[in-house]
């Protein structure tokens, strides 16, 4: 019932026998600032679980509302049966530090190396360190500031996809003097 959450497109593979693949993951989170780390929880039955356990490298790509259909499709098809980059019309681009490619259509791509795998029950949690971040130039303003609010990021709540809505405030605004 934790909602809304960011659904992410996790790309993996591109190493050894594993072709590039994409899995949609909603059980994802920020878990550490220094070093920067995130988590993705994946069921052992998923093909991506096998790939990531073997390669220990992923790219976490943030989807926009325009990518909602691709997010859903990559979450119902398996890379055992289809090429998801082809099937979802997504463009792979070479990463700097990991074998898995990033997804060009996604505005933010985080290259990650898996540091720990924790078996929790239905899901295994992959804790991964972010070793590089790519952001589309369109989201960087003239002063070099990241304008993530302009990305149109996707949210997932109780089985449904939403575009982010109206801005209500900002960090610390409740205590700021007028």
Ligand X SMILES: Cc1cc2nc3c(=O)[nH]c(=O)nc-3n(C[C@H](O)[C@H](O)[C@H](O)COP(=O)(O)O)c2cc1C
Contacts with ligand X, residue ranges (CB under 6 A): 7, 21, 23-27, 41-43, 46-48, 72, 75-80, 123, 156
CB 56 within 8 A of CB 114: yes
Q: Residues 6 or more apart from 137 whose CB is under 8 A from it?
A: none
Shortest spacing between CB 163 and ligand X, in angstroms: 15
Q: What is 94-161 written as a DSSP string?
A: --SSSSSPEETTSSEEEEEEEEEEEE-SSSEEEEEEEEEEEE-GGGB-TTS-B-GGGS-BEEEETTEE
Q: Whose Cβ is closer to ligand X: residue 20's or residue 102's?
A: 20
Q: Whose Cβ is closer to ligand X: residue 12's or residue 151's?
A: 12
Shortest spacing between CB 100 and ligand X, in angstroms: 13
Q: Whose Cβ is closer to ligand X: residue 139's or residue 161's?
A: 161
Q: Whose Cβ is closer to ligand X: residue 11's or residue 109's?
A: 11
Shortest spacing between CB 8 and ligand X, in angstroms: 9
Query: How many other CB atoms are found less than 10 A from the CB of residue 125?
Result: 18
Shortest spacing between CB 49 and ligand X, in angstroms: 7
């Amino acid at each position: 019932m934790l909602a809304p959450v960011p659904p992410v497109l996790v790309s993996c593979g591109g190493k050894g026998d594993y072709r590039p693949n994409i899995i949609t993951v909603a059980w994802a989170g920020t878990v550490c600032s220094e070093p920067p780390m995130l988590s993705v929880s994946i069921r052992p039955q998923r093909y991506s679980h096998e790939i990531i356990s073997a390669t220990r490298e992923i790219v976490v790509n943030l989807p926009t509302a325009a990518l909602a259909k691709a997010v859903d499709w990559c979450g119902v098809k398996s890379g055992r049966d289809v090429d998801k980059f082809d099937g979802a019309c997504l463009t792979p681009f070479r990463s700097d530090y990991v074998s898995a490619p990033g997804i060009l259509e996604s505005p933010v791509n985080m290259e990650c190396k898996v540091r720990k795998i924790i078996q929790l029950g239905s899901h295994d949690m992959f804790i991964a360190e972010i070793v590089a971040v790519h952001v589309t130039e369109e989201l960087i303003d003239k002063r070099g500031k990241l304008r993530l609010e302009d990305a149109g990021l996707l949210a997932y709540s109780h089985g449904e996809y939403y575009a982010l809505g109206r801005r209500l405030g900002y960090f610390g605004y409740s205590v700021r003097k007028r």
